[in-house]
Chains A and B, each alone.
Chain A
């Protein structure tokens, strides 16, 4: 099975900072990667699919990149409403799985 590893597991940054979260697949998954945002006490929301395509309604400060085994989620200017845990998810096969999550807090 392909393992999805996110780093860091948590981070603290200031409002306006550029934040980068990494997701690494143990095997090539092409661009079959999605990112989700889960705010405290809420249900996850789809942010990005196909590694870099923003879901409708997602602010443009969010972006995704990568292909193969290494992927990044970037928040260009962190806002207070971005406090959440972010998860990557692979979907290159029927064996779907998530990364362990990255908790983002405001410093």
Chain B
């Protein structure tokens, strides 16, 4: 069974940093591109960032470019999102998602980890 378990969310101050992790199991992690998608409270889905299966290609929404970095450790089956210079508008539930055969759409979603940005 495919499982994606996010962790690392919590309260951060504006301008602060957080690192999210996503532990994957039930599939061959190193074969799949992976992404982060977020959803602010009561709002729609927003694509945040993604990486190809090897980790050499990374992609970012304009809203987080230069502030967030994405990485993966295929030996640990784990995806990361390093968030810095956090803003109030980054407050959201962050979902780790698996890219179906690396085509660009998402067949499995984690339960999410909540990031709160407040002073």
Instruction: Give the B-binding residues of A (Cβ under 8 A).
Output: 1, 32, 34, 36, 38, 43-46, 49, 55, 85, 87, 89, 91-92, 94-101
A–B pairs, 7, beta carbons within 8 Å: A43-B109, A43-B111, A87-B45, A91-B103, A92-B104, A96-B50, A100-B44
Residues of A within 8 A of B32 (CB): none
Are A43 and B35 touching (Cβ within 8 A)? no
Chain A residue nearest to B100 (CB atoms) is A49
The answer to whether B27 has its CB under 8 Å from any CB of chain A is: no
Interface residues on B, range: 20 to 34
Total inter-chain residue pairs, C-beta < 8 Å: 57
Are A96 and B104 touching (Cβ within 8 A)? yes
Q: Which of B59, B105, B107, B110 contacts A89 (CB 8 A)?
A: B105
Are B105 and A91 touching (Cβ within 8 A)? yes
Residues of B within 8 A of A49 (CB): 100, 103, 105
User: B91-119: contact bitstring with A at CB < 8 Å (1 yes, 0 no)?
Assistant: 00001000010011111011110000000
Q: Which of B62, B100, B104, B109 contacts A44 (CB 8 A)?
A: B109
Are A1 and B105 touching (Cβ within 8 A)? no
With known contacts A43-B112, A46-B105, A94-B59, A101–B44 Cβ distance under 8 A: yes
A87–B59 CA distance with the chains assembled, in angstroms: 21
Residues of B within 8 A of A94 (CB): 50, 57, 59, 104
Residues of B within 8 A of A87 (CB): 44-45
| Closest chain B CB from A92 CB (angstroms) | 8
Are A34 and B105 touching (Cβ within 8 A)? yes
The answer to whether B46 has its CB under 8 Å from any CB of chain A is: yes
Residues of B within 8 A of A100 (CB): 44
Instruction: Give 14 new A-B contacts, CB below 8 A, not counting A49-B100, A85-B44, A87-B44.
Output: A32-B104, A36-B45, A43-B109, A44-B45, A49-B103, A49-B105, A89-B45, A89-B47, A89-B106, A94-B50, A98-B37, A98-B44, A99-B44, A101-B44
User: B49-66: contact bitstring with A at CB < 8 Å (1 yes, 0 no)?
Assistant: 010000001010110000
